[in-house]
Structure 1
Amino acid sequence: MDRRSAGSEARFAAYVDDLVGVIGHADRAKPLRDYCTGLLMPCERKSVEPLAAVTAPERTAAQHQSLLHFVGEGGWSDEKVLAKVRTIVLPVIERAGPIEAWIIDDTSFPKKGMHSVGVARQYCGQLGKQDNCQVAVSLSLANAHASLPVAYRLYLPEAWAGDPVRRKKAGVPTEIGFQTKIEIALDQIRAACAAGLPRGAVLMDAGYGTHIALRTALRALELSYVAGILSSTTVWAPGTSPLPPKPYVPGRGRPTKRLRRDAEHRPVKVRDLAFGLPTKAWKTITWREGTNVPLKSRFARLRIRIAHRDFNRSEPWPEEWLLIEWPKGEKEPTKYWLSSLPSDIGFARLVELAKLRWRIERDYQDLKQEVGLGHFEGRGWRGFHHHATLCIAAYGYLISERETIPPSGLRSSTAFQAPRLPDNYRPRGSAA
């Protein structure tokens, strides 16, 4: 074993020992260590049985039962483990610079059958269409260097939330009722605020950004945001605004406080606003270095007010940024954002933050491809979340190791090499 591999093993052992401190009983230490080790090994599937085979090839059946109980039935707290992971990993991320963003998003896992907890026919981002899948909502903290999921929860469709038989069979806690993805994300954000996590601008795609209740709640929490919106969103163009309430004339009914519109004072769709901008409004901005070339595009930004049902309000909505991306060669703009970031923020900085959402895509890519986030084959609520928590813990270790060992070097460490399986080993379901 070379010195680098030995150092990696020692750091991994120390990392897992820190997690053992919050996981409870001493008899959970070994399955925790084995499960995390298996997630970092280069095996094709990272469900419980393959993990048992690569971590204990000479006693696979017994190891399978141990890991299955640990992840499917173990009464340890996901929240405590994730909190410990972030106390270890966030300082590593912050050595490269302060936290810049909180990213909310969801990810999906295609599933056959209807018995796995939360599975339903719904939009599956992985497949790009409606299909049977599970969906989980997460919150990640990020800067340009790295990002880490700090909260993760399964979305439970209404059909599941209201079905006591399926709930009981899958072990859904009684306190878990139906919540929209927006409500789950907002709960995660409030918990992060209460925990005093380092703040950043909240980044979200149009699936979340179009919900004005979410954006309003973020303002109430004193969090700025960069929120994707649809091209049909209506706003008041610069220099325009709704009309003030009608002046009160004594004797002619009750006074009104509602803002007004008329034929000459109407909001516009952001798409129409973009098409009406002069050429000089568009600026080519580079936001980061890509794999081969700098990433750049054309952008315009304007100070606007949204027009959402302001005819029922007495005051206009706050002024904020509208950011528009129109890549050269495209027939029309491709993306729109609303942002409550300060009015004096630099143009390039605004674009840079809007584009930092790529970090969540990288999170999910690595979590699924490197540590098997989508490989869990159990059907229960507890097992689904325990597996995800341990995947995030393993991913957190990889993040913490980036400064010391490149990913290829980490994979070559003897600590994470799969041992040779016995000649008589056969995965369940394979031909005899």
Structure 2
Amino acid sequence: MLDPSNVFLTGVALEALSQWDNTLKTFQQKLGKHFARSEARRAAFDYIQALLSPVERKNGWQIAEQVGDVNPYRFQHLLGRAQWNADTVCAAIRQYAVEHLKSETDILAIDETGFLKQGEQSVGVQVQYYGTTGHLENCQVGVFMSYISDKGQTLIDRRLYLPRSWTEDQNKRKKGAVPEEILFATKPQLAIQMLESAIAEGIRPAWFVADEVYGNDGSFWWWLEKTAKQPYVLTVNKKQPVVIGWQRYRAEDLLPQSDSQQWQRLSCGAGSKGERYYDWARVPVNCDKSDGFQRWLLFRRCLEHPDDPRFISYYQVFANSNTTLEAMAQIAGQRWRIEECFKFAKDQLGLGEYEVRSWHG
């Protein structure tokens, strides 16, 4: 006799599978209009389904095998030569994601991640810093934007970082099919491009967060303040220059004494082992307050090593002048969620296992 619980669980599983199938079909319909040729449209849908499948590695041959193709040529054509606009498709995906995740406390995060490569032909590849190992590796580097809310997080935009060794080498540009209009841009400049695109589409997050690569770039955070009017929490290094009154300081000069009452023990959000508590303090620094905003230096110290400078983190914050220290701590604690996006995309969806070499691919 069938166990009633098994029958019930099977029914639940089938219902969930049906809902997932309907969701995927709706998503495909949104993207379908961006592929003029039916062959490219079918290849794109098959590619998406293969990426979502349990195939261990999402490279060309295994993806082809998953959908019943004898070789990966159809997908290589889709990614490298077929006529469709990747930026337009990305905008559609971005809109779809924001519709489902939008909340009053949404956050945009920018970070970069690398993709190890063996040869020298993949566009943008060179020996450069690879964050996963913390060493110089032969890799490509992409700068990504993530949308974060209390409903979840996802990647919504991307730019390939093209080093000067590529932008200034006409032979490499030709082999990689790099468009003429693509010039060298720093990672913060690529971040501005993505933020401008998001703002143009009406995405105005409550906060923006990023690491030292962006926090240490004065032109970047100045753009956030003066052009975008965007509240932010940016990680900076201990030598970050700030001005209070007429005096210039480095961030480490303003660190409160270990026994100062400025320190408050606050959680920056829940982790895998519960709430993540640190001691936090802040110091206001010079800022044009005519629009009701204030700039601060924010400090975080580890509870186990309160006097060890190696365990002190520094942030620069720009926000409404009535923003609380607790709110700043909460936002600073959200940046790790873009790293969760990278981990999931690399572990489950084959980010970095692609085998195309051209700029378009």
Does the TM-score normalized on the shorter chain lie above 0.5? yes
Residue of 282, 306, 311 corresponding to 2:263: 282
SS at match of 1:382: coil
Q: Is the 8 A contact 2:127 2:138 kept in 1?
A: yes
Q: Identity over the aligned pairs, expressed in percent?
A: 26
Residue of 42, 45, 48 corresponding to 2:57: 45
Q: Output the CA distance in 2 between the equivalents of 1:23 and 1:337.
A: 44
1:10 aligns with 2:22: yes
Q: Output the CA distance in 2 between the equivalents of 1:179 and 1:65.
A: 32
Residue 166 of structure 1 deviates from its aligned partner by 1.2
Q: Is the 8 A contact 1:23 1:81 kept in 2?
A: no
1:100 aligns with 2:106: yes
SS at match of 1:7: helix
Pairs within 5 Å for 1:125-136: 125-136=131-142
Residue of 298, 303, 313 corresponding to 1:323: 298
Residue of 282, 286, 293 corresponding to 1:301: 282
Residue of 91, 96, 101 corresponding to 1:88: 96
Pairs within 5 Å for 1:352-367: 352-367=330-345
Q: Output the CA distance in 2 between the equivalents of 1:8 and 1:149.
A: 20
Residue 174 of structure 1 deviates from its aligned partner by 1.2
Q: Output the CA distance in 2 between the equivalents of 1:2 and 1:193.
A: 40
Structure with larger RCO (C-alpha < 8 A, sep 6+): 1
CA offsets per residue over residues 71-116 of structure 1, 9 Å max, x none?
A: 121121111111111222212112xx33521111111112122111
Q: Output the CA distance in 1 between the equivalents of 2:262 and 2:204.
A: 35
SS at match of 2:87: helix
Q: Output the CA distance in 1 between the equivalents of 2:266 and 2:73.
A: 55
- The letter for the 1-side match of 2:156 is V
Residue of 211, 232, 240 corresponding to 2:239: 232
Report the equivalent of 1:36. Answer: 48
- The letter for the 1-side match of 2:70 is T
Q: CA RMSD in A?
A: 1.8
Residue 10 of structure 1 deviates from its aligned partner by 2.2
Q: Output the CA distance in 1 between the equivalents of 2:185 and 2:34.
A: 29
Residue 182 of structure 1 deviates from its aligned partner by 1.4
1:194 aligns with 2:200: yes
Structure 1: gaps of 5 or more residues: 243-265, 307-317, 384-432
1:371 aligns with 2:359: no
Greater C-alpha Rg: 1
Q: Output the CA distance in 2 between the equivalents of 1:151 and 1:231.
A: 30
For residues 268 and 276 of structure 1, do their structure 2 counterparts lie closer, same or farther at Cα, with a shift above 3 Å needed? farther
1:66 aligns with 2:74: yes
Report the equivalent of 2:213. Answer: 207
1:115 aligns with 2:127: no
Q: Output the CA distance in 2 between the equivalents of 1:66 and 1:152.
A: 24
- Number of residue pairs the alignment of both structures matches: 340
Residue 275 of structure 1 deviates from its aligned partner by 4.8
1:273 aligns with 2:254: yes
- The letter for the 1-side match of 2:346 is K
1:241 aligns with 2:245: yes
- The letter for the 2-side match of 1:152 is R
For residues 157 and 357 of structure 1, do their structure 2 counterparts lie closer, same or farther at Cα, with a shift above 3 Å needed? same
Q: Output the CA distance in 2 between the equivalents of 1:279 and 1:299.
A: 11
Residue 9 of structure 1 deviates from its aligned partner by 1.6
Q: Is the 8 A contact 1:134 1:155 kept in 2?
A: yes
- The letter for the 2-side match of 1:74 is A
Pairs within 5 Å for 1:168-179: 168-179=174-185
Q: Output the CA distance in 1 between the equivalents of 2:120 and 2:144.
A: 23
SS at match of 1:300: strand
CA offsets per residue over residues 333-385 of structure 1, 9 Å max, x none?
A: 521111111121122111111111111111111111110111012211111xx
- TM-score, normalised with respect to structure 1: 0.75
- TM-score, normalised with respect to structure 2: 0.89
SS at match of 2:34: helix
Q: Output the CA distance in 1 between the equivalents of 2:241 and 2:190.
A: 27
Q: Is the 8 A contact 1:72 1:382 kept in 2?
A: yes
Report the equivalent of 1:341. Answer: 319
